[in-house]
Amino acid sequence: MTYPVEHQQLAGWAKFPVIAADVATPASIEEARDYVMRQERLIARGNGKSYGDAALAPHVLSTLALRHIRHFDASSGVVDCEAGVLLSDILRVAVPQGWFFYVTPGIKHITVGGAIASDVHGKNHPTHGCFSNYLISFELMTAEGQVVHCSKEENADLFWQTCGGMGWTGLILSAKFQLRRISSTQMLQHTVWSANWDELFAALSGNREYEYAAAWVDGLAAGSNFGRGAVFFANHAEGSSKEPLVFHEKKPGNVPFTPPIGLINRWSTYIHNKMYLRKKPPGDYPTDLDSYFYPLDGIRNWNRMYGPRGFVQYQFCMPEHTAYDGIARIFQAIQRSPDAPFLTVLKRHGERPAEARYSFPIKGYSLALDFPRTRSMVSLVRTLDDIVWAAEGKIYLTKDACSDPKMGRIPLEDFKESKWWSDLRERLAMLP
Ligand SMILES: Cc1cc2nc3c(=O)[nH]c(=O)nc-3n(C[C@H](O)[C@H](O)[C@H](O)COP(=O)(O)OP(=O)(O)OC[C@H]3O[C@@H](n4cnc5c(N)ncnc54)[C@H](O)[C@@H]3O)c2cc1C
């Protein structure tokens, strides 16, 4: 069989860690099976948009050549596609016919396989849960090269272990899932500013008439200013049936090369935070799907701004009863450290279905923080791990690069020794 296998220096979106890996790109099930049967210590990789080491191993199977939408039923909104199809591929086909995702992350350039393996969530988790809520079925290739059909009725254990299972159960080959009807591509956004932590928490917890909500927090604001930020709420607008639906994708800007020194530091963060709120005054604004859901897609290669050392995204979720104090403790620990988060996003989460054991969100609040990678970074991450652990919280493995193994991560060194998906699947049971 002739499919490309390239030796590469490979990393996730945050460019840390970087490892040497053989990356195979099969274009059919037979080619995928061939590579699966040849390799031990293999992980599937979609579009590499997980931040840390989730899609890294000595042998990697890229799904990017498995990129066909097999069928889209414009009357029922059911998509049937290969695992390497990007969410953006689906948007271009589905939006003009009046369909959108029930659940979408803040990036459209991820694969369907990656969306399932991380069981991604969006800004509407309290009402709509994770991607798995609308997943009908998928085909999974096991370590033995068998193709197993998984749904909530058939091979249900394997179905739920794979949703949020970080590729530890096998290779997702294709999937079927349900989209939602939209009658307009406009979003009605409502922005609220907060002057302190009480106001921020109250705004994010209230305003339940909006389906979508996410808050930006000024990670440098301390003392009585702690919690200064903005909450961005939104609902889909209603349109008339005559209105043609077009998915307007803004032409993205680009960071053309990696500067020799990172551009993100405490001072640029200070200036960014000062300017950020001015650009987002409180009030009601119409906006469009691309601008509301995918603002970071507006700059290609923005990860290069962090320079050659890359960055670390740390995202955790704490249950409702610990989150108010626990998140405040996280910010206090960061403010005592030499590190400053450039981007901070706070979200509220709803109940997790009992079967969705490996989905990241639990009922409570999650916070995502992007830090330039410094010498003190690992030590800060371990301090944050301890606070999250004490608050009965958990971390998001798709973002992680250097947390304590007690948080569920498999360090790359262990991964090298770990034999196969069957071993990895057993490790799922040990996740906190
Ligand atoms: C700017 C940005 C914003 C984001 N916003 C959100 C957000 O709002 N909510 C959220 O939940 N996530 C968010 N993410 C994270 C992202 O959605 C996930 O990391 C997603 O899994 C990436 O998909 P990918 O195709 O790039 O997969 P990769 O990064 O290549 O892989 C991610 C994981 O999926 C596994 N995997 C991939 N394909 C398969 C397959 N075919 N079979 C089995 N396993 C597979 C890999 O082994 C790995 O464990 C964001 C990421 C970025 C860069």
Query: What fold, for 69-182?
Result: 3.30.465
Q: For ligand 1, what atom is nearest to the CA of residue 12?
A: 29
CA angle, 50 as apex, 45 and 388 as ends, to 5°? 135
Find how far residue 17's CA is from the centre of its chain. Answer: 18
Residue 426, pLDDT score: 78
For residues 144-163, give the mean pLDDT: 96
Model confidence at 417, pLDDT cuts 50, 70, 90, reads low
86: DSSP letter: B
pTM > 0.75: yes
Measured in Å, residue 55 CA sits from the centre of ligand 1 at 8
Q: Which amino acid is at 210?
A: Y
Let me know: does 285 contact 339? Beta carbons within 8 Å: no
Q: For ligand 1, what atom is nearest to the CA of residue 398?
A: 19
Sign of CA dihedral 197, 203, 204, 206: positive
398, 410, 427, 431, best to mutate for ligand 1 pocket (most atoms within 8 Å of CB): 398
Residue 31, pLDDT score: 98
For residues 205-221, give the mean pLDDT: 96
Residue 240, pLDDT score: 81
Q: Where are the beta strands (DSSP E) in 12-158?
A: 18-24, 42-45, 59-62, 69-73, 78-82, 99-100, 135-141, 147-151
31, 108, 110, 177, best to mutate for ligand 1 pocket (most atoms within 8 Å of CB): 110
For residues 22-48, give the mean pLDDT: 95
- What tokens appear for 79 in the block? 């998509």
Q: What is the mean pLDDT of the chain?
A: 95
What are the tens digits of pLDDT across the range 88-101?
999 999 999 999 99
Task: Answer whether residue 422 shows pLDDT above 80.
Answer: no
> Which CATH number describes the domain made up of 186-404?
3.30.70.2520
Model confidence at 409, pLDDT cuts 50, 70, 90, reads confident
Closest residue CA from atom 7 of ligand 1: 105
8, 120, 425, best to mutate for ligand 1 pocket (most atoms within 8 Å of CB): 120
What are the tens digits of pLDDT across the range 92-135?
999 999 999 999 999 999 999 999 999 999 999 999 999 999 99
Closest residue CA from atom 53 of ligand 1: 49
φ, ψ for residue 199, nearest 5 deg: -65, -40
* Cβ neighbours for 137, distance < 8 A, ≥ 6 positions apart: 149, 150, 151, 154, 159, 175, 176
Measured in Å, residue 181 CA sits from the centre of ligand 1 at 25
Measured in Å, residue 315 CA sits from the centre of ligand 1 at 14
Residue 416, pLDDT score: 61
Measured in Å, residue 164 CA sits from the centre of ligand 1 at 10
Measured in Å, residue 234 CA sits from the centre of ligand 1 at 24
What are the tens digits of pLDDT across the range 332-365?
999 999 999 999 999 999 999 999 999 999 999 9
Q: Which residues line ligand 1 (CB under 6 A)?
A: 13, 43-50, 54-55, 63, 83, 105-107, 110-111, 113-114, 117-118, 120-122, 166-167, 171-172, 296, 398
- In order of 11, 46, 176, the CA distances from 172 in angstroms are 21, 10, 11
Measured in Å, residue 115 CA sits from the centre of ligand 1 at 6
For residues 202-207, give the mean pLDDT: 95
Q: For ligand 1, what atom is nearest to the CA of residue 345?
A: 8
Q: For ligand 1, what atom is nearest to the CA of residue 13?
A: 53
φ, ψ for residue 93, nearest 5 deg: -85, -40
- In order of 52, 144, 347, 390, 396, the CA distances from 314 in angstroms are 9, 35, 14, 16, 8
Measured in Å, residue 48 CA sits from the centre of ligand 1 at 7
Task: Answer whether residue 138 shows pLDDT above 60.
Answer: yes
Least confident of 162-166, 274-278, 370-374: 274-278
Closest residue CA from atom 35 of ligand 1: 167
Query: Any idea where the domains of the chain sit in the sequence?
Result: 69-182, 186-404
Model confidence at 421, pLDDT cuts 50, 70, 90, reads confident
Measured in Å, residue 114 CA sits from the centre of ligand 1 at 4
CA angle, 369 as apex, 253 and 231 as ends, to 5°? 80
d(CA 360, CA 380) in angstroms, rounded, equals 21
Measured in Å, residue 54 CA sits from the centre of ligand 1 at 8
What are the tens digits of pLDDT across the range 377-403?
999 999 999 999 999 999 999 999 999
Residue 425, pLDDT score: 79
Residue 367, pLDDT score: 98
What are the tens digits of pLDDT across the range 39-80?
878 999 999 999 999 999 989 999 999 999 999 999 999 999
* Helices within 99-178 (DSSP H only): 112-117, 125-128, 156-162
50, 344, 421, best to mutate for ligand 1 pocket (most atoms within 8 Å of CB): 50
Share of the chain above pLDDT 90, in %: 89
When computed from its CA atoms, the radius of gyration of the chain, rounded to whole angstroms, is: 21
95: DSSP letter: G
For residues 188-214, give the mean pLDDT: 97
Measured in Å, residue 119 CA sits from the centre of ligand 1 at 8
Q: For ligand 1, what atom is nearest to the CA of residue 44?
A: 47
- Kindly report whether the peptide bond that precedes residue 17 is cis, defined as omega within 30 degrees of 0: yes
